[in-house]
Amino acid sequence: QKEVEQNSGPLSVPEGAIASLNCTYSDRVSQSFFWYRQYSGKSPELIMSIYSNGDKEDGRFTAQLNKASQYVSLLIRDSQPSDSATYLCAVNMFSGGYNKLIFGAGTRLAVHP
């Protein structure tokens, strides 16, 4: 089982719809979770972090965390063509005495007008 799993997509949604991106992880004791957005040819940009069970909202973005199910998701409301990018889920895991981020392979989102 991969440590952090995401559906590679592409996830295609119409402009104005809600895009739902999902991520599962293997380490039960992980405590911090991140969503990064990566446009083609650019670097990953941190857009959301979540540390507690439940929802965290920031503008059009909502991150949801369920530690019991080892599941984290990102909802993008009122999707825009500019949201088209690859979204990387990252989970902080404690290994060898240190924290390190383990990334999923990313979900490609395409928002069409």
* Binding window for another protein (CB under 8 A); candidates: 10-18, 26-34, 54-62, 70-78: 26-34
Q: Which is nearer to another protein, 25 or 34 (CB)?
A: 34
Contact pattern for another protein over residues 81 through 100, marking x by CB under 8 A: -----x-x-x-x---xxxxx
Q: Which is nearer to another protein, 17 or 101 (CB)?
A: 101
Strands 11-14 and 107-112, by their bridges, are parallel
User: What is the Cα–Cα distance from 60 to 43, expressed in whole angstroms?
Assistant: 21
Q: Which residues lie below 8 Å from residue 95, measured CB to CB, with a gap of 6+?
A: none
